Amino acid sequence: MLSPTPAPGNNPPVPKPTKTAPSLPGTELALAELALLAADEWLLRPQLTLVWTSSADFKQLATDFRASIKTTDDSGDALAPQTSRLAVLDELINKNLRYVRNALTLKYSDENDGRPYYGEFGIVKENSTWQLPKDRVERTKSLQKLVEALPKHGLGKEKYGTAFWAPIATEYALLTSGKAKDKGSRSLGVAEKGTLRQQVELTLEALKNLIKANYPKTHKAEKRKFGFLKESY
């Protein structure tokens, strides 16, 4: 038997997908504070146990997670001054490299304006422009080449000679090296913080279930003592 075809306009509405509200705080700081509260309360209740962790271990986990938030934030703040200073040096380099090129043109006017010697000075052609490489690691190497080449070609005592370029090369090398280390430290910190957060969330969810199982009639009130002030966030 064929089913009747619904009349146009009488199709049943398609139900919208439901979105489950998160059961834990979304922000790292709020989650860390909840974890510390829950850990302190759990320490007072030795009768509540989980097979795979203990109240003491969770207290340490919560403490580590809270500390990791400030550590990674501090690492990010430390990068800002270095990045700003490198930008200033980049502008200084880009603005004054022309004086080196002009000096080479005057000295080697009969040798294609000195371009055959650009490589010794770390000067490369990028986007149709003769300059030091934009990549900061490569630029650091090129600055060192530039400083070494100046006296070799009799340009060390010029206004834009060794006295001008050597301090820039030294500072640039220090900043790029320090920035790389800080970036690595921050990357490790962020990865560690992510792992800690996963462990914290897993334990908090387990605690909520543990509380409900042990206090079936009063679990909502008991959860509040652990810091779970809301069922969803």
Distance CA 232, CA 191 (A): 27
> Which pLDDT tens digit goes with each residue over 145-202?
999 999 999 999 999 999 999 999 999 998 888 654 555 444 454 556 678 899 999 9
Helix (H, G, I), strand (E, B) or coil at 162: helix
**Is 75 a residue whose pLDDT tops 50?**
no
Q: Where are the domains of the chain?
A: 28-210
CA distances from 37 to 159, 175, 231 (A): 65, 42, 16
User: Mean pLDDT throughout 66-76?
Assistant: 63
Retrieve residue 88's tokens. Answer: 């200033």
**Is 218 a residue whose pLDDT tops 70?**
yes
Decide: pTM greater than 0.75.
no
User: Mean pLDDT throughout 224-230?
Assistant: 87
**Is 15 a residue whose pLDDT tops 50?**
no
In this predicted structure, what is the pLDDT of residue 18? 45
Amino acid type, 57? D
> Which pLDDT tens digit goes with each residue over 78-108?
456 677 788 899 999 999 999 999 999 999 9
Distance CA 52, CA 169 (A): 55
Give percent of the chain above pLDDT 90. Answer: 57
Q: Which of 25-34, 109-118, 140-149, 178-187 has the lowest mean pLDDT?
A: 178-187
In this predicted structure, what is the pLDDT of residue 27? 86
Q: Looking at the chain, which runs of residues are DSSP E strands?
A: 124-126, 129-131
The stretches of 5-135 forming alpha helices (DSSP H) are 28-43, 55-107
In this predicted structure, what is the pLDDT of residue 20? 47
